[in-house]
Structure 1
Amino acid sequence: AGLSEAGLDLPPMTAEQRRASLELWQRRKAAVLYSVANNLATVAKDHAAAARVYGQLLTLDPGNSERICAALGRLSMQVGDLQSARHHLGRCAQSAPAERRDFYAAQLAVTSADWATAQRLFRSALDSNPGNMLAANNLAVICLYTGQLREAIRLLESLLERQPKLAIHEGLVFNLCTMYDLESSKSVGKKTRLLETVARHRGDNFDVAAFKF
């Protein structure tokens, strides 16, 4: 009692100053929780804990509910909880701006293994935004699953030609290198050229395991 959020003696404050102070600390708390959730999901691979943190953020930061529900949808898909994935992605598809609805609808189609619909919707999302790395990556993976290896490679290579800075994304590089390995036993040359692209835009701060040399 009588202390600020930082644990210091609370100076006299107007109601407006108090409100602004609370909002500032709420934003800081949300920023910390986003960092924790991302670390749990991507580094610790503790998807259940990450989902709990994102659940807290839905209450704390309702203005970003689309972003949070999208993250919860991805986490649910990764652990095989398709019912929860459909719930969260459905919320995204209903509330998102028109330019992002096809992307979420495509993810919903993936939860039902409706590859044709997912492919059509991811392609529509990519047509609307040619620089949409997530749409291109997902579309390429679906092409791979459905036996269209050359088309999958073409999609990712075209994306990197248009926007080479996207080569800093380790997941995209890993997928493309996997496809090179499937395409030919002589994939080292293509991977080396990809490594050179990454080096120009990312430098040393990159997990070279993504290249699968």
Structure 2
Amino acid sequence: KYVQAGQAPFSLLALTLEVAARQNDVKVIDQAYALKEKLMSGQLDVIGDVEPGPDGFSPRDRKCLYLLSLIVGYSLRLQRHDAALDAIRELATLTREEDTLVALAYVRVLLNLFEVDAAEKVMRSTIEKGNVEEELIELHKGLLCAARAQTTQDFEDAMAHFIRVLEIQPSSAVAINNQAICLLHLGRLRDAIHLLESALHRDPEALLDEGLVFNLCTLYDLSCPDGSKEKKVALRRLASKYGRQGFNLDVIAISN
């Protein structure tokens, strides 16, 4: 009852939101914004709120950043890209500058909205400001190229960027997943399956991502609809052993 009344400590209220998000409660976004408004209006007491930390943010600001980040992630899961974009803009305002990670998150949302030209403009501006790691530059160039390839069919160019990312960071789930998608578009289904399988067995703890696993299951179905059950059972076993706490095994759909 204290949680419902908003009288519980912030940490408990935040935990309640995270649990609701894992249960796919569609009210999470509105609840997170309501909690943020209580923080900003002073309705929730935050210890040490007056004194900013070394990063220049007060405890109240940092809690707002956390809530906005939660809103961005959950909005993207629900394919509510406009809501994600609104939260990202608030993040940029709260951080008082176009922080690199915020700007790159903005790029990804724009790509999900198929605003490729706008995404490229933000990406170019971010790179020009400097201090962007090569891995992030190559990854987002790959995502831009992959988005354009939906029209041009030039998936080789996009794949080259993802390969470069993996030379820098071999356990980049985003790069591996997108390289596999490029291979599929190029008609190289077996290569795509081999890429994902090899990655999962090489570093299962780092790469057991629901999106990557779901895509591998889809590729199994495309490759051999009648013979995918055995491979999915093995994949579920791997996920049960190495998957992080809360890993959603339902992404591995096994037909009877």
- Is residue 67 of structure 2 the alignment partner of residue 26 of structure 1? no
Comparing 141-150 and 19-28, the one that deviates more: 19-28
**Residue 31 (structure 1) shift:** 1.1
Output the CA distance in 1 between the equivalents of 2:206 and 2:52: 40
1:32–1:188: structure 2 CA closer, same or farther, 3 Å change rule?
same
Q: 2:219 aligns with which of 174, 179, 188?
A: 179
Question: 1:36 and 2:71 equivalent?
Answer: yes
1:146 aligns with 2:186: yes
Q: How much has 1:171 moved relative to structure 2?
A: 0.3
Contact between 2:163 and 2:179, CA under 8 Å: does it hold in 1?
A: yes
Number of residue pairs matched?
203
The CA deviation at 1:98 is: 2.2
Q: Deviation digits for residues 114-172 of structure 1, max 9, x if unmatched?
A: 31211111111112211111111110111111111111111111111111114541101
Distance 1:27 1:93 in 2: 26
The Cα shift of 1:62 comes to 5.2
Q: Does 1:77 find its partner at 2:140?
A: no
Stretches of 4+ aligned residues off by more than 6 angstroms: none
| 1:191 corresponds to | 232
TM-score, structure 1 normalization: 0.83
Could you state the TM-score of these two structures normalised by the residue count of structure 2? 0.70
In 2, the alpha carbon distance for the partners of 1:99 and 1:47 equals 25
1:100 corresponds to which letter in structure 2? Answer: L
Over 3 Å counting, the alpha-carbon distance change for 1:8 and 1:104 in structure 2 is closer
**Aligned CA distance change for structure 1 residues 32 and 147 (closer, same or farther; 3 Å):** same
Percent pairwise identity: 27
Contact preservation (8 Å) 1:69, 1:92 = yes
| Equivalent in the alignment of 1:55 | 89
- Measured after TM superposition, the shift of residue 52 of structure 1 is 0.7
Judge conservation of contact 1:181–1:187 (CA < 8 Å) in 2: yes
The one-letter amino acid of 1:83's match is D
Seen in structure 2, the aligned counterparts of structure 1 residues 128 and 181 have a Cα distance that, compared at 3 Å, is same
Which residue type is aligned with residue 233 of structure 2? T
Most deviating of 58-67 and 75-84: 58-67
CA RMSD of aligned residues (A): 2.7
Tell me which moved more, 145-154 or 166-175. 166-175
Aligned to 1:98: 134
Judged with a 3 Å threshold, the aligned counterparts in structure 2 of structure 1 residues 194 and 18 are, in CA distance, closer, same or farther, namely closer
Instruction: Decide whether aligned partners of structure 1 residues 18 and 198 sit closer, same or farther in structure 2, where only a CA change above 3 A counts.
Output: closer
3-state SS, counterpart of residue 99 of structure 2: helix
Residue 8 to residue 136, structure 1, CA distance change in 2 (3 Å) = closer
Give yes or no for contact 1:191–1:211 (8 Å, CA) kept in 2: yes
How far did 1:211 drift? Answer: 1.5
The one-letter code of the counterpart of 1:121 is H
Taking a change above 3 Å as real, the CA distance of residues 62 and 187 of structure 1, as seen in their structure-2 partners, is: farther
Structure 2 counterpart of 1:87: 121
Cα distance in 2 for residues equivalent to 1:62 and 1:107: 27
Give the Cα–Cα distance (whole angstroms) in 2 for the partners of residues 93 and 117 of structure 1.
19
